[in-house]
Amino acid sequence: MPSFLRRHFCFQGKLQDKPGLLTETQGDIKNQYIAAKEEAVLSEMLEIRWHGRGGQGAKTAALLLAEAAAAVGKYVQAFPEYGPERMGAPVVSYNRVSAEPITIHSAVSNPKYVAVLDSTFIGSIDFTSGMPKDGVLIINSNASTNEIRERMGLSGTQIKIHTLDASRISEESIGKAIPNTPMLGAMVAATGIMGLKELLEDTRLRLERKFRNRPELVTGNLEAITRAYKGVQNQ
């Protein structure tokens, strides 16, 4: 069972019925109401998948996104796919983000948004697996959107593709080619989960605790997030 990061809220209520007075018809109506409400919640919930290599920070990006979304009042989950965690090995992490409580705890099978931190996987991994027709791909690459679309065999599809050179952005901003924070900024821009200001405020607090004696890393990561966010927003 994967570990989940959740935003905990108090119970928000349910339909009230008097004991013993629920007829079969009322029961059917109640079940239909609950099913319709659950379907509406699922349709509004964002599911995200992150692909990367060990050491690129895909798991950290998913956690930072969940923490930032929780800080603005969203219900969230963030969890990795279990497997051997070694430097350079394929890594997959997931998010769920919703305005309503999340009651499912299974793996993410149909993500609308997919982030690819390492484009060298193209051709060996099907990044579009389970995605809907209007899914959104965010690829860390210096290639153009059209080049990536052709390489992935997505010409003629409705899947939207954003490309950005997250490795170069991170190298210029923090001195290391670790693309997770710029890809975080790109994901927030693509999904609209929150604004850039809210993302930067929450991420700053967390990075300041982690890099207490390295303020240049805090500043650099925030710069990387901002550059990537604006880059995707302008595409």
CA distance 149 to 43: 27
Do the domain assignments include residue 162? yes
In the chain, the number of structural domains is 1
* CB of 174 closer than 8 Å to CB of 220: yes
Instruction: Name the residue range of residue 195's domain.
Output: 40-233
**pTM for this structure?**
0.80
d(CA 191, CA 207): 22
Residue 100 lies in a domain: yes
Q: Which CATH number is 173's domain given?
A: 3.40.920.10
In this structure, is residue 159 part of a structural domain?
A: yes
pLDDT in tens, the chain (235 residues): 343 343 332 222 223 343 444 445 445 554 554 444 444 444 589 999 999 988 898 999 999 999 999 999 999 999 998 665 566 688 999 999 999 999 998 889 999 999 999 999 999 999 999 999 999 999 999 999 999 999 999 999 999 999 999 999 999 999 999 999 999 999 999 999 999 999 999 999 999 999 999 999 999 999 999 999 999 988 8
Residue 30 is assigned to a structural domain of this protein: no
| DSSP assignment of 39-96 | HHHHHH-EEEEEEEETTS-HHHHHHHHHHHHHHTT-EEEEEEPPS---TTSEEEEEEE
Task: Give dist(CA 172, CA 224) in Å, integer.
Answer: 8
- Flag whether 223 is in a domain: yes
Q: Identify whether 81 is part of a domain.
A: yes
- Domain annotation covers residue 11: no
How confident is the model over 155-210, as pLDDT tens digits? 999 999 999 999 999 999 999 999 999 999 999 999 999 999 999 999 999 999 99
Is 26 a domain residue?
A: no
